[in-house]
Every structure is written in structure tokens, then in C-alpha cells.
Structure 1
């Protein structure tokens, strides 16, 4: 019985070393600001003044996080970021769900139930993807005033739903174009209605693009500052506006640890979303979310 041939060790080529070195360098460069924010938020002000920017905290503390959450001043109010965080939650959840649902319905109609003028309607909606946000500020504020929704969370929800419809429609329409038309025709021959086909056939096949759209909309709405600062009132400001107010509030001593902790609190939801569901986002894109 002959002996099995010896497995040759894989040679570590120079180009592979260069590639890994470049990737590690870029990763370190990209993650350096996050590292500085985290270590600074865990230090007290004495260590910040005496130590290096990159030094680890000698006695890590979450006091700065506690102050940023519940007692830091954001102007004349000293209740921290907690009320702003809750406003963002109350804003993001309905805005993401409504814009995604309407975008899915629009994409279904524009791809599988085409009618005269549907291509023109899609082109006009697509124009909204590239339209600068500043263009709609004045007309949108007038509309919110007419509807009695000015300076309210409901008004912000409406603004973000309308602003997100072009993108969500584009995602779903381009994804549904790739679904076989025979599925729809077979269901129609079996007597299925418009809504039955959408609920029982199209939606179960939409998981990849649903994940993409939900993550995209969540990120866009949570991180928005312009609409939040223009259309919100004193009691409806989102987390981005609260963070801006906290950082720009004057005090006798600038507390960099509190500022860094506040920035991390504001960014934490989107970071968690991408850490948990990032791979599904990439899979959804490659499944046809941006395919023409």
C-alpha cells in the first residue's frame, strides 16, 4: 500500500504579503478615529489633559457615558441625549416601515403591472433620488404647516417617507424586474388577485431586497441632520440635533470624554445594525438591488 503524497506547504508569496499589509494599514487608518473616541470616552478629564490621544485609560469609567445619556447640557436643557434618542426611535420605526412598504408596492406595480405612462412615472420618481434635499425645504415646510404637522415627530415621519420613496421604489422595482413573469401569469390564470399575488408570491421572494431597503432607510433616517434641524420642534428633535447641541454648548471646561461618549451613543444603533446584518445587506445588493 503506497504512502499518501506529502502535502506541500502553501508558499506565502510577496504579493500576498503586500496585499494583506495594505488591507491592514487601511483598516487601521479607518478604525483609528473610532478607537480614539472609545478610549477618550472611558477616560476622565485629568488623564485626557495629561496623557496621549492614543493611550489606553488607566482606570476605565463609564461616567462620561452616563452624563452624556442623562445629565449633559444641550443648550439650556441638561437632560442628556435620552429624550433625543427616544425621539429618533419614534421617528425611525414608522418612517422605515412605511417607506419600505410603499416602495415595495410601487416596485411591484412598476415592474409587473405596467400601464401606459408607467415608465415616465418611474423616471420622474427616479429623479427624486438625485434631487438635492435643500430644494424641498421651503415647500415641505409650507405643506407641513397646512397639514398641522409642523415641528412634530409625525411631520418628520411624513418628510422621511416622502424623501425615501424614490430610493425604495428604485430598489424594489429593479429587484422585481428579475422575477420571472411566468409566476405572475400562472397566478393570474389560477384566479389570484393583485393583492394575493403580492402577498403570497412576491413578498416571500423579497427577503434580500427587504433587508437592503430596511438597512438603507434606517441609516439614512437615523443619521439625518438637515431635516431634523429644519422641521423639528423643541420636543421633537432627533438624536443628531441633540448631539450637535451638546457638543456646541459652552461651558467653563470642555469635556471631550462626554462629547465622545455622546457621539458613540448617537452612532451605536447604526453600528449594531451593520455588524449584525451587514452580510445580508451585501447579499441583497448582489441579488439584484442595484441591478438595472
Structure 2
């Protein structure tokens, strides 16, 4: 029985290793290609290691690669994405926390209908909101700005964060909230003193979810931003599709990794907490 179990476990590990290899292979190709020279790329094969590791493609991708008619590299667009993503994540997460608290703990007339509408908002395709959102940004004077992109992502992401927090808060024992009310705690006191201290797991879920969605977004960035306000995903698309001169695959790969590094870092650091947060109630109810 022990031998059969050991063989079965070895087979499971072997299958997991093959799957991991399959998913990591594109990252390996991107990473090795980014450190190759153009001659090395032409003379070698896709899976070969660089003959001489060269970081010149990374320096060019960051500082001087052409993203269309501009040749200032990815650095400006990288910081655009940072300035867009950080406030959008924080604002949408806090709004979702308050909304989830309201629809789960403070029942009022129409609360179920409101939650249903927010739930429907999670399934509205990006394309449906493009025209009304463009008109709204025009009215507010935020068209083609980073602040406009922040507003767009806050509005679109609030439905998701509200759903996550609501489904987490319905698992919190009602006795805690009732005890607070008996002791004279009001709306905000209960929220800040009772619920927020136990909301760490779901905050991690929302931050990772929102960060990934907003940082990797291309459609909103290409539609609602222009020129120097564009995020890094749009700049990466422009760089890869630039057809002047020799095609520099090493620069393209380095640029793609630069664009993906923040989300890779977030998942490497906080990925296990994401799973814990989901199992703590983010998908229950």
C-alpha cells in the first residue's frame, strides 16, 4: 500500500512538474531572448542560452526604445501605470469595503436590488461602457489624462470589490455587530473597530485582483488616454508593432518583461495570501 502510494505521489509530482514546465517555458524564452544580441538570436535557436549575456536590450527598452514616433523607452509609461494603478486600487478597494459593509450589515429598502445591480456590473463587457465613459470624461474635462483612467478603473472595479467584501462580511458573526450596537457603536465605529481588523485576507484579495486587472488593462488605456498619459501596456503594443529598421526581438522581450514585472512581483509576494483570502469567504454566499 505504501509503495502504491509512493508511486502515485511520484506520478502526481511528475505531472505537476510537466505542467509547471509548460507554463514557465514562454517566460524562459522571453528572459533568455532579452539577454541575447541580435546576431545570437539569428544564429541560435529559440531555446538556446545566450552565448554572451548582454543587458543592452534592457537598457534600450527602458530608456530609448521607440514606441511609435517617440523614442524615450518604457520608463515614462511605466510610471504612468504606477500613477494610474496605485490610486485606482486604493480607492476602489476602500469604496468596495464600505459598500460591502453596507449591503451585508445594514439592511435597507432596496438593498437587495442594489446588490443585484452591482453584481450585474461585474459581467458588463468593457466595450459596452466605452462610449458613455468617454462622454463622462469629456464632461469632467478628464479625457486623455491619467486622472481619467483612474476614474474609469475605480468605477469599473467597484462592482468587483463590493462583491468580494460583501461575500466576506456575510461570514462574520452577526453577534459581533449586534454587540457593538448594544454598546452604542455607530455606523463608522463598527466598520473601523470591528470589521476592518478582521478584513486583512479580503483586502489582499481585492488589492491583488484590482492591481492585476488595472495594470494589465489595454483597452481602457488605448481608448481613454493619449500621448504621454498612456499606460505601459499601450506603449508595449506600440513598441512591438513599430516596423522601422531591424526588428529587435531582444528589446521587445525585455520590454514585455518590464511590463509584467509588477504583477509577477505581487503574485510572488502575496499569492499565497490571495488563496487564503478566497477561502476565507471571498467567493462564499
Q: TM-score range by the shorter chain?
A: over 0.9
**Distance of 1:46 and 1:211 partners within structure 2:** 45
Secondary structure of 1:13's partner?
Answer: helix
TM-score normalised by the chain length of structure 1: 0.95
1:235, 1:68 → 2: CA distance? 17
Per the alignment, residue 232 of structure 1 pairs with 225
Deviations 1:96-127 (A, max 9, x none): 00000000000000000010110010001100
**Structure 1 SS opposite 2:107:** coil
Is residue 78 of structure 1 aligned with residue 71 of structure 2? yes
SS of the residue 1:174 aligns to: helix
Aligned-partner Cα distance in 2 for 1:285–1:146: 38
Equivalent residue for 1:89, pick from 67, 75, 82: 82
The equivalent residue for 1:253 is 246
CA distance in 1, matches of 2:9, 2:118: 46
Which whole-Å CA distance do the structure 2 matches of 1:10 and 1:102 have between them? 54
Return structure 1 stretches of 4+ with deviation > 4 angstroms.
9-12
Matched, 1:219 2:212: yes
Alignment of 1:109-258 (within 5 A): 109-258=102-251
Structure with higher Rg: it is: 1
**What do residues 141-167 of structure 1 show as CA deviations (whole Å, max 9, x unaligned)?**
001001111110111000000000110
SS of alignment partner, residue 285 of structure 1: helix
Correspondence 1:281 to 2:274: yes
Residue 10 of structure 1: how far off its partner (Å): 6.9
Count how many residue pairs are aligned between Structure 1 and Structure 2: 285
Picking from 97, 107, 126, the partner of 2:100 is 107
What is the Cα deviation at residue 61 of structure 1?
Answer: 1.4
How many Å apart are 1:14 and its aligned residue? Answer: 2.9
Q: CA RMSD in A?
A: 1.3
Within 5 Å, which residues of 2 pair with 1:19-34?
Answer: 19-34=12-27
Please report the TM-score for the alignment, with normalisation by the length of structure 2.
0.98
Structure 2 counterpart SS, 1:235 = helix
Shift of 1:236: 0.6
